[in-house]
């Protein structure tokens, strides 16, 4: 009790010095409060931002990895062959990449392998050619380009007008892209003829609601059914219907891209209007008309199967050398839907256990986009950590120096106390208690100030980080004198043309029931999770919309961390006092004083 009373009297008596220490501690505490609040907000955003949000994912063949491995093997083989010219073995590489696409049965097997899957949907995209009575929407330039290619047999188009998916199964040009329905098809090297029309089969209303064509509204009729009773039913764009003078209930005929003698008769049950203008997405006269959203013909996968144009069917194609090969009649894009990020991560583990090869990857555009939106917040979190360490280091040094001078100034007091029988341990405890009281007072003031300032200061700093990120993008764009075109952006469209909020996106819910109602009643069809894409099968062209506000509030966890910081500063400074007190000899101190 003597130690406590004496320590408190010294706290009151030495007001100036203790107020200085309290101010220093308050400044440290305020900075630490803001820094810890920012870091906690960043962690919460990363951990819970997609916790209860619908997430879509796809399985895709990692073609880049496969090519690298094949190239490495070819190089090793060439180095041991003295007669080798050093050129890549293109035939061997093509043979190694052939047949890597997953089938519908494979995708369904992995869907059943994990209980984390909420739902699935898929699209199958094929191509068909025009007939004399049914023509694609096109201008005179594209018509001339198309007619010149159509003058030969359709089979030769496979060699001149093909598109190969990239690593994720997406098409660079967007003609028959693997990113149908917001997902990557993972077709792993499949060749597709462009044709004059994209004939896209959907598995469900959920797939229609997530059409790669973007948002659209039924202007007349209704969406087709998905069972065999609706085979042959299609919906077409209003532009295409007006161009050919067709209406709901009419029929039209299209040709097989590989055999002009094979035709298909389809019935129009609905006409839709694209929300965005399709003319800006055509990409010039050399681009296939099938890439124009106006020339997308929507139907069910059941119809494709009946026509023999589904992914399980094959078509024979002949290249310019007269060699005949077989290819899949349609490109498959399969999408898995999850209730949150935890389910998505569980699915990744489950499919690996189910035997998914390392040649394939599971990816989610939703997760990637959300993580991209967190870049400024992550940078701010790292800045907050650096600032916190600097403040704590400088503050600890200042407090230690003040404590050192305090002990030296009270050297005579230490000598008297120890001379009258007070143990050095109790004297050291008195100095420690004094410092603890002052530190806790300063800590309380600093926490209060930091808590009040954490949200506005954090958002101000975050806004600066966002502005810096956007400035870097603008600087890159300025090098080209225009907005940079994202990979595969159709028709030269800027990647900024279809931006949306990633933070809001992560909280959206695309359940199939709601989408069914919209599709059946002619409501606007919105891509899942706010995604918006170019043409039918076109690649995604959206800009990252960074998280620009954060709720950096102070909770019990932050307060607990601040208490530990305060105790740490106290112990470090008190250790200096203890060392000096234990070194002092009372008789020598009193002798020097006299």
Out of 87-101, 230-244, 442-456, 549-563, give the one with best mean pLDDT.
230-244
Q: Report the distance separating Cα 110 and Cα 124, nearest Å.
A: 18
Query: How sure is the predictor about 592, in pLDDT bands with cuts at 50, 70 and 90?
Result: low
The SS3 of residue 334 is strand
pLDDT in tens, 189-242: 334 457 889 999 999 999 988 887 667 788 999 999 999 999 999 999 999 999
What percent of the chain shows pLDDT beyond 70? Answer: 69
Q: Report the distance separating Cα 557 and Cα 534, nearest Å.
A: 46
* Spatial contact of 21 and 438, defined as CB atoms under 8 Å apart: yes
536 vs 391, which has greater pLDDT? 391
SS3 string, 300-328, reads EHHHHHHHCCCCCCEEEEECCCCCEEEEE
Query: How sure is the predictor about 593, in pLDDT bands with cuts at 50, 70 and 90?
Result: low
| Tokens of residue 532, six digits | 């918006």
Residue 78's pLDDT is 56
219 phi and psi angles, rounded to 5 deg: -95, -25
Q: How far is C-alpha 296 from the chain's CA centre? A: 28
Contacts for 554 with CB less than 8 Å, ≥ 6 apart? 33, 36, 37, 447, 450, 451, 454
Residue 480's pLDDT is 56
SS3 string, 523-573, reads CCECCHHHCCECCCCCCECCCCCCCCCCCCCCCHHHHHHHHHHHHHHHHHH
The SS3 of residue 276 is coil
Q: How far is CA 226 from CA 176, 229, 233, 272, 333, in A?
A: 22, 8, 9, 18, 17
Beta bridge partners of 316: 326
Q: Report the distance separating Cα 528 and Cα 42, nearest Å.
A: 25
Residue 153's pLDDT is 40
Q: Report the distance separating Cα 279 and Cα 292, nearest Å.
A: 7
Would you put residue 117 in left (φ > 0), alpha (ψ -120 to 50) or beta?
Answer: beta
Q: Poorest-confidence range of 224-228, 277-281, 442-446, 494-498?
A: 494-498
User: Which string of DSSP letters, residue by residue, matches 470-531?
Assistant: HHHHHHHHHHHTSPPPPTT-GGG--TTTT---HHHHTT----HHHHHHHHHTTPPB--GGG-
- What is the arithmetic mean of pLDDT over 92-112? 83
Contacts for 103 with CB less than 8 Å, ≥ 6 apart? 311, 312, 332
Across 387-450, the runs of DSSP E, i.e. the strands, are none
Whether pLDDT at 293 is above 90: no
Query: How sure is the predictor about 587, in pLDDT bands with cuts at 50, 70 and 90?
Result: low
From the list 232, 198, 190, the residue with the least C-alpha distance to 129 is 198
151 vs 349, which has greater pLDDT? 349
- What is the arithmetic mean of pLDDT over 392-402? 86
Residue 476's pLDDT is 60
Q: Poorest-confidence range of 195-209, 292-306, 489-503?
A: 489-503
Q: How many CA atoms does the CB half-sphere of 513 hold within 13 Å?
A: 1
Residue 411's pLDDT is 73
Q: Report the distance separating Cα 246 and Cα 252, nearest Å.
A: 9
- What is the arithmetic mean of pLDDT over 359-367? 88
Whether pLDDT at 271 is above 90: yes
pLDDT in tens, 512-562: 343 333 333 333 333 334 443 433 444 334 456 776 676 767 778 888 888
Q: Over the chain, what is the mean pLDDT?
A: 73
| Dihedral sign for Cα atoms in the order 7, 12, 14, 19 | positive
Residue 152's pLDDT is 45
pLDDT in tens, 460-481: 777 777 777 777 766 666 655 5
Residue 494's pLDDT is 39
Out of 71-85, 122-136, 186-200, 365-379, give the one with best mean pLDDT.
122-136
Residue 80's pLDDT is 53
Whether pLDDT at 378 is above 80: yes
| Tokens of residue 230, six digits | 């609706």
Q: How many CA atoms does the CB half-sphere of 388 hold within 13 Å?
A: 20
Residue 266's pLDDT is 95
Residue 416's pLDDT is 77
Beta bridge partners of 57: 336
Q: Poorest-confidence range of 52-66, 246-260, 419-433, 575-589?
A: 575-589
Whether pLDDT at 448 is above 50: yes
Out of 163-172, 187-196, 394-403, give the one with best mean pLDDT.
394-403
pTM across the whole model:
0.65
Residue 485's pLDDT is 47
Whether pLDDT at 160 is above 50: no
Q: Poorest-confidence range of 179-193, 432-446, 447-461, 555-569?
A: 179-193
Q: How far is C-alpha 585 from the chain's CA centre? A: 67
Q: Poorest-confidence range of 110-114, 203-207, 429-433?
A: 429-433
Residue 299's pLDDT is 95
């Amino acid at each position: 009790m003597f130690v406590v009373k004496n320590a408190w009297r010294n706290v009151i008596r030495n007001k100036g010095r203790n107020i200085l220490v309290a101010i220093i501690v308050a400044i440290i505490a305020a900075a630490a409060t803001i820094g810890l609040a920012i870091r906690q907000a960043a962690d919460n955003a990363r951990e819970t931002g997609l916790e209860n949000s619908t997430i879509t994912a796809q399985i895709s063949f990692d073609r880049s990895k496969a090519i690298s491995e094949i190239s490495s093997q070819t190089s090793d083989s060439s180095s041991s062959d003295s007669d080798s010219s050093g050129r890549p073995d293109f035939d061997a590489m093509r043979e190694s990449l052939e047949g890597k696409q997953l089938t519908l049965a494979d995708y369904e097997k992995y869907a059943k392998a994990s209980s984390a899957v909420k739902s699935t949907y898929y699209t199958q995209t094929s191509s068909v050619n025009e007939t004399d009575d049914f023509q694609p929407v096109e201008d005179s330039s594209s018509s001339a380009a198309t007619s010149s290619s159509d003058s030969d047999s359709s089979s030769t188009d496979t060699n001149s007008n093909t598109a190969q998916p990239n690593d994720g199964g997406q098409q660079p040009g967007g003609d028959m892209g693997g990113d149908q329905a917001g997902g990557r098809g993972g077709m792993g090297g499949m060749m597709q003829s462009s044709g004059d029309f994209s004939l896209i089969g959907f598995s469900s209303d959920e797939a229609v609601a997530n059409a790669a064509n973007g948002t659209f509204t039924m202007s007349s009729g209704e969406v087709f059914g998905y069972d065999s009773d609706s085979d042959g039913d299609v919906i077409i764009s209003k532009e295409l219907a007006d161009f050919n003078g067709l209406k709901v209930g009419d029929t039209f005929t299209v040709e097989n891209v590989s055999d002009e003698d094979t035709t298909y008769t389809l019935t129009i049950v609905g006409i839709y209007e694209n929300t965005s203008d399709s003319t800006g997405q055509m990409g010039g006269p050399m681009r296939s008309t099938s890439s124009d959203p106006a020339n997308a013909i929507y139907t069910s996968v059941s119809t494709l199967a009946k026509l023999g144009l589904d992914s399980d069917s094959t078509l024979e194609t002949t290249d310019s050398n007269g060699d005949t090969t077989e290819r899949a009649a349609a490109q498959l894009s399969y999408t898995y839907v999850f209730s949150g990020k935890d389910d998505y991560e569980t699915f990744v583990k489950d499919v690996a256990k189910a035997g998914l090869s390392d040649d394939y990857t599971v990816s989610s555009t939703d997760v990637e986009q959300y993580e991209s939106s967190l870049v400024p917040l992550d940078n701010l979190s790292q800045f907050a950590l650096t600032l916190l360490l600097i403040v704590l280091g400088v503050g600890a040094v200042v407090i230690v120096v003040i404590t050192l001078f305090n002990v030296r100034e009270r050297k005579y007091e230490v000598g008297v106390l120890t001379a009258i029988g007070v143990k050095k341990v109790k004297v050291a405890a008195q100095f420690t208690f004094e410092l603890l009281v002052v530190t806790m007072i300063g800590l309380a003031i600093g926490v209060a100030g930091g808590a009040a300032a954490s949200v506005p200061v954090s958002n101000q700093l975050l806004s600066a980080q966002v502005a810096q990120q956007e400035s870097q993008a603008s600087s890159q764009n300025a090098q080209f004198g225009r907005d940079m075109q994202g990979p595969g952006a159709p028709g030269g469209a800027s990647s900024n043309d279809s931006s949306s909020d990633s933070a809001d996106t992560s909280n959206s819910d695309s359940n199939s029931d709601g989408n069914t109602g919209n599709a059946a009643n002619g409501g606007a069809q919105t891509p899942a999770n706010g995604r918006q894409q170019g043409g039918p099968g076109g690649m995604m062209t959206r800009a990252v919309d960074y998280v620009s506000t954060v709720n950096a509030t102070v909770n019990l966890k932050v307060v607990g961390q601040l208490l530990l910081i305060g105790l740490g500063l106290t112990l470090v400074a008190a250790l200096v006092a203890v060392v000096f007190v234990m070194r002092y000899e009372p008789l020598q101190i009193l002798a020097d004083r006299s």
